[in-house]
Structure 1
């Protein structure tokens, strides 16, 4: 049992701490709005992921594996949404005091995980490794561990973004950072879509 818990922790950490679309949005938000204003997005992204994990674990995974075309449509829709977020970041005003409503929200974090191909792949891979047909205990344990590890990982990315924000003390630097990160986010979404569709063929 302890070996399985350790494996769950390692899996959750490797999936949560590695760069992805959600992490990039968090860094951009931390840099532009600070740590405190980024926490709602961090919370939304964490809760959104755990809800996706639980829903898949409770039966949606069977539907998805029976109808793989659903994942293809989801990957397309999710990538478009992530590219849109990349555009919003890249075109944000290079102002030291950025408008409140431009800060990523709890709802956006929640929605982004459900439209994030990386999140679906992580959930399906994790459930395939740790689920038990005879008991829901592994799903419960996995979800609790993943919640803690995911939140702490995303929180670290928010701290990193806020530290980067200390260097962004001119409109020109802010503009360069936003365009760079927005472009990187869009490229990441295109890569995830290509990789997902290529694997599905």
Structure 2
């Protein structure tokens, strides 16, 4: 396995902490429900991220070679799901009814990772550039996937806490619409960036 250095750690923390579907949706859920009620959604994200990273480690050597079309397909599926999240974010009423409660479920957080192309690209980059051969030793694989999943959980928690902190401003209709629009636009931007519109 290649030497893990400051460049690797910088890549991990910067990439994980910057805006993306996980972080933006976590901020939105934090605003809607507060941190405690959002925790199950965050755990779903972290669990799904662990599974995604595990799959990337195991498949990194063959996926792009044998099925290059899979990455392109997942990119558009993921972008469509993120746009749907943007719509739900924009139309959020910030009233904790049954429909909204389902948005912050464990399964929603888990599902986001299944169609999260940013996570796929991140995982493939990690295991083909920095942690080459990590899948050769189960202890290495488990250790790194747990570490990276914990970093993910810390990141989405920070974003959710930020969302919870500004929750009190959601009683102001104009502030609510402005923040909803900003988060929705950020998600749409993420989706468009994923499909390569800004390349």
Q: Please report the TM-score for the alignment, with normalisation by the length of structure 1.
A: 0.85
The structure-2 alpha-carbon separation of the partners of 1:25 and 1:75, relative to structure 1 and needing over 3 Å to count, comes to same
Equivalent position of 1:74 in the other structure: 74
Q: CA deviation at 1:63?
A: 2.8
Q: CA deviation at 1:130?
A: 0.4
- Measured in 1, the distance between the counterparts of 2:99 and 2:160 equals 18
Q: Secondary structure at the match of 2:104?
A: coil
Contact 2:31 2:163 in 1 (8 A): yes
Q: CA deviation at 1:144?
A: 1.7
The answer to whether 1:192 aligns with 2:190 is no
- Please give the residue correspondences for 1:119-158 in structure 2 after superposition, counting only pairs within 5 Å: 119-128=119-128, 129-132=130-133, 134-158=136-160
Contact 2:56 2:120 in 1 (8 A): no
Contact 2:35 2:160 in 1 (8 A): yes
- Measured in 1, the distance between the counterparts of 2:106 and 2:132 equals 29
Equivalent position of 1:32 in the other structure: 32
- Please give the residue correspondences for 1:1-201 in structure 2 after superposition, counting only pairs within 5 Å: 4=4, 9-59=9-59, 62-93=62-93, 95=94, 97-102=95-100, 103-128=103-128, 129-132=130-133, 134-194=136-196
Q: CA deviation at 1:154?
A: 1.1
Contact 1:52 1:123 in 2 (8 A): yes
Unpaired stretches in structure 1, ≥5 consecutive residues: none
Contact 1:30 1:159 in 2 (8 A): yes
Contact 2:60 2:127 in 1 (8 A): no
Unpaired stretches in structure 2, ≥5 consecutive residues: none
Of 149-158 and 59-68, deviating more is 59-68
Q: Secondary structure at the match of 2:137?
A: coil
Q: Secondary structure at the match of 2:19?
A: coil
Q: CA deviation at 1:8?
A: 5.4
Q: CA deviation at 1:33?
A: 1.5
Q: CA deviation at 1:10?
A: 3.8
Equivalenced residues, count:
194
- Measured in 1, the distance between the counterparts of 2:60 and 2:183 equals 33
